[in-house]
Amino acid sequence: MSSADDGPIAPELNPALVERIAHRVLLRLVSDSRGDDFQLLTVAQVARRLQVHSSWVYANARQLGALRLGTGPKAPLRFDPRRVALAVGDPSLPAAGPSSARRRPEPPALRRLPSLPTPARGHQSAASTGPSTGAAETRCGRRPTGQVRKTWRKRDEQWRFALRIWWQGERVWVPLGLEADGWNDYRAKLELENVTREIAAGVWRPPTPQPLDPGDRNPIFREFATFWLDEKQPDLERSTYDDYRNLLTNHVLPAFHDKRLSEINYEAINAYRTARLREGARRKRASEAGVPLHGRPGRPLRPFGARQVNASVRLLAQILDRAVRSERFDLEHHRARERELKVKREKPVYRRFLEVDELLDVLDAALEIDQRSSPETLELGKTVRHLREIERLPWTRIAATIGRAESTTIWLSRQTAGGRRARRAMIATLGLSGLRAHEVADLRRRHLDFTHGRIVIADGKTYGSVREVHMSPFLREELLVYVAEVGQTGADELVFPTRRGTPHSRQNLNRRVLAPAVARATQARATRGDAVLPPAITPHTLRRTFVTLSAQAGRSPSWIQAQIGHADMTTMQRYYMQASHSETQPRMKRLVEYVLDEAGMTNQAHAPTGEARQTLLLPDDPAAPGI
């Protein structure tokens, strides 16, 4: 008989109460391997939990509709979770045991979940796990994972449970509760399963931070900044919220986290400004020397300049403004908006857009990367196919003619222009439509209207960003060829997905899509002796390129403003529409007409590439016909 036989005999208990407590015991057990509606509980486990004699369990179990008694000295009680769920949800039930005042109420209806992996024995800091994901979830990004963390509290000798979750590229701490609240290993594991399912579905949100102490009129900056960011989150766009969070985490909080609001005076802010400028200059020097500094996770620290420092000071001023306006705090004024604290911006790059010939060179370089075969290899393959199919030469003679091995000759015959043109299509969309980087990344197949020649932006950064963008014949042809090659049919499919089926991030578009094409185009232009490309080419550079090229093509400012989704024309003219000295050159205007005009060349077989394009850039001949 079990060790619970020596326990006291309990008085008469409500049968529904017994089922309720038995349900809590179930959270620590493994599901019945036979997979029926009942799960196994031993008599000893129920008796120990109820603090009763085992004979009492035998005598009363037969009166409970949701429990079935087996036979033998260790006979199991079979437990029906569906019937007990109804009993648990009954508000008329009495308290469950002597410690019920500290217990959290169980959910009114608990459905049976798949069996969870059993945590390894001997580890008190609970095992880590994530739900088993199928091929579809594997393609859609990193599998949501997490850990159950246990901390021993000496003052009351019980375990505190929490979850450490991987969410949107960072670790999030989710407190659960104490043993006195009903938490145990199995229940924490169950909560981990539920949270990871929510993350996989994209509906989970981190727990709301604890509110500020109403009696503290001079709180610590870390607590107040967390309160402010949580308060502002519903009014912020996701990108703005991420920027604020990044500035707080990497810049502001390390300097002011333990200071009281009243301690953040002019001297403290000025010292912070000076320290960040020195740190940014140090990172920049190390990066230019080829020895970038590394942070704690081992990743290189990114250099930053005046823009990030000014943005962090402005964010600090917004947070302190909130404290000044409130009657809850003693802060009456702050000095974060002093003009002397603003850092002078670095001199801008001399040109923030690409000329039309430079854009076409980047597109050609992107196509070469997409083909995964060099132009020389493709040309040699064309020669091999001609010798084999037209002149009917044997493989040995063809190999001797081109000076390659016979196996290499056969391989060359299979090399044709084709494959995925995703890189070229993405860069063409960025440079010839004026879309933002995240708009290109979020494009769905239903947003491409080839019938009417337009791209529909249904969810933009601002109200003016919801628009219809004109699709030039050149861009339409590029996208048609790309969509036909990848075979996209679903209306909700991403036009430019990653390998895992997720949208590209802005950094991913810059580093993995655009930067390799720019590097290859720079090398090709250097080989031909052309002018070098401007520095720091990003997806936003291509957005500026579209505005400048559209102005060269004779588009009206109001049309350009509607295409890029700007509410203020002054902003567009000041920051985007930069004058190009080549706009007066007819040979350059012919290239602009080729990529933007309705009457331009739309047949991709006649696209001017490489040296063929140089014909268009020769000195003008008044008698030469236009394109």
HEC letters along 234-287: HHCCHHHHHHHHHHHHHHHHHHHCCCEHHHCCHHHHHHHHHHHHHHHHHHHHHH
| 383 and 437 share one domain | no
CB neighbour list of residue 587: distance below 8 Å, 6 or more residues apart: 616, 617, 618, 619, 620
Q: Residues 526, 598: one domain?
A: yes
Q: What's the rounded mean pLDDT across residues 46-53? A: 65
d(CA 423, CA 18): 64
- Report the pLDDT averaged over residues 14-34: 46
Tell me the pLDDT band of 426, cut-offs 50, 70 and 90.
very high
Q: Are residues 443 and 587 in the same domain?
A: yes
In the predicted model, is pLDDT for residue 252 greater than 80? yes
Whole-number Å distance between alpha carbons of 190 and 194: 6
Q: Does any domain span residue 437?
A: yes
Q: Is the pLDDT of residue 598 over 50?
A: yes
Higher pLDDT, 6 or 118: 6
Q: Is the pLDDT of residue 89 over 80?
A: no
Residue 622 lies in a domain: no
Last residue within a domain, chosen from 36, 68, 102: 102
Cβ-based neighbour number of residue 267 at 10 Å: 9
Pair 355, 402: CB distance under 8 Å = no
What distance in Å separates the CA atoms of residue 495 and residue 10, rounded to the nearest whole number? 67
The pLDDT value recorded for residue 42 is 63
> How many other CB atoms sit within 10 Å of the CB of residue 268?
15
Indicate which CATH number applies to the domain containing 29. Answer: 1.10.10
In a domain, 39, yes or no: yes
* Whether residue 182 sits in one domain with residue 158: yes
Could you tell me if residue 22 is left (phi over 0), alpha (psi between -120 and 50 degrees) or otherwise beta?
alpha
Identify whether residues 402 and 428 lie together within a single domain: no
289: Cα within 13 Å, side-chain hemisphere: 9
End-to-end CA distance of the chain: 97
Please indicate, yes or no, if residue 206 is contained in any of the structural domains: no
CB 124 within 8 A of CB 146: no
Q: What is each CA distance from 361 to 509, 523, 530, 615, 616, in whole angstroms?
A: 18, 10, 11, 14, 14
Mean pLDDT of 17-33: 45
pLDDT tens-digit readout, 100-158: 333 344 333 333 333 333 333 333 444 444 444 443 333 344 555 788 999 888 877 88
What are the residues facing 469 on neighbouring strands?
455
Is 70 exceeded by the pLDDT of residue 307? yes
Number of domains observed in the structure of the chain: 5
Contact 200, 131 (CB under 8 A): yes
Q: In the prediction, which pLDDT does 26 show? A: 44
Cα pseudo-dihedral 102, 104, 108, 114, rounded to 10: -130
Written as six digits, the tokens of 162 are: 């929490």
Mean pLDDT over 386-411 rounds to 90
What does the pLDDT average to over 261-269?
A: 92
pLDDT in the model for residue 7: 41
**Alpha-carbon torsion (220, 226, 228, 231), positive or negative:** negative
Strands 39-42 and 76-79: antiparallel
Listed residues 399, 418, 437: the one ending a domain:
418
Q: Residue 353 domain-assigned?
A: no
CATH for 284: 1.10.150
Distance CA 526, CA 271 (A): 46
Q: 44 and 181: one domain?
A: no
pLDDT > 80? residue 336: yes
Q: What's residue 519's pLDDT?
A: 92
**Residue-level pLDDT at 144:** 55
pLDDT-above-70 percentage for the chain = 67
| Strands lying side by side in the sheet with 76-79 | 39-42, 76-79, 67-69
What crossing angle do the helices spanning 586-596 and 473-486 adopt, rounded to 10°?
Answer: 40
| Whether 480 and 588 share a structural domain | yes
Strand arrangement of the beta sheet that strand 146-153 belongs to: 128-129, 146-153, 158-167, 170-178
Of 573 and 390, the structure prediction assigns the larger pLDDT to 390
In angstroms, the CA 363 to CA 369 distance is 10
The answer to whether residue 363 is domain-embedded is: no
Hey, is 607 helix, strand or coil? Answer: coil
292 and 385 inside one domain: no
CA gap 482, 440 in Å, rounded? 14
| Model confidence at 429: pLDDT above 90 | yes
Above pLDDT 90, what percent of the chain? 18
Please say whether the beta carbons of 514 and 545 come within 8 A. no
For the record, the structure tokens of 467 come out as 């628009």
User: Cα separation of 414 and 396, whole Å?
Assistant: 16
Average pLDDT across the chain, whole number: 74
pLDDT score of 240: 87
Q: Are 227 and 334 members of one domain?
A: yes
Q: What is the pLDDT of residue 583?
A: 59
Range of the domain at 392: 373-418
pLDDT at 60: 61
Determine the average pLDDT of the residues in 216-221.
Answer: 89
Does one domain contain both 571 and 598?
yes
Same domain, 502 and 430: yes
Sequence-ordered list of residues with C-beta below 8 angstroms from that of 523, at least 6 positions apart, any chain: none
Q: According to the model, what pLDDT value does residue 313 have?
A: 94
Distance of CA 251 to the CA centre of its chain: 22
* Residue 259 covered by a domain: yes
User: How far is the CA of 516 from the CAs of 129, 431, 537, 538, in angstroms?
Assistant: 37, 16, 11, 12
pLDDT at position 96 is 36
Confidence of residue 500 (pLDDT cuts 50, 70, 90): confident
Distance CA(395)–CA(393), nearest Å, equals 7
Residue 476 sits in a domain of what CATH number? 1.10.443.10
- Do 429 and 401 lie in a common domain? no
- Look at residue 287 in the predicted model and tell me its pLDDT: 87
Measure the CA–CA gap between 369 and 420, rounded to whole angstroms.
Answer: 10
Residue 211 lies in a domain: no
Residue 304 has pLDDT above 80, yes or no: yes
- The whole-angstrom separation of Cα 236 and Cα 242 is 9
Give one DSSP letter per residue of 215-231, joined into a string.
Answer: T-SS-BHHHHHHHHHHH
pLDDT at 592: 80
Q: Is the pLDDT of residue 314 over 90?
A: yes
Residue 8 has pLDDT above 70, yes or no: no
Q: Residues in the chain, how many?
A: 627
Mean pLDDT value across residues 180-196: 89
- Within 10 angstroms of residue 256's Cβ, the number of other Cβ atoms is 23
Regarding predicted confidence, which is higher, 79 or 553?
553
Q: How confident is the model at residue 308 (pLDDT cuts 50, 70, 90)?
A: very high
From 418, 447, 472, give the residue that closes a domain: 418
What's the pLDDT at 87? 41
| Max avg pLDDT among 357-366, 456-465, 485-494 | 357-366
* 156 against 336, higher pLDDT: 336
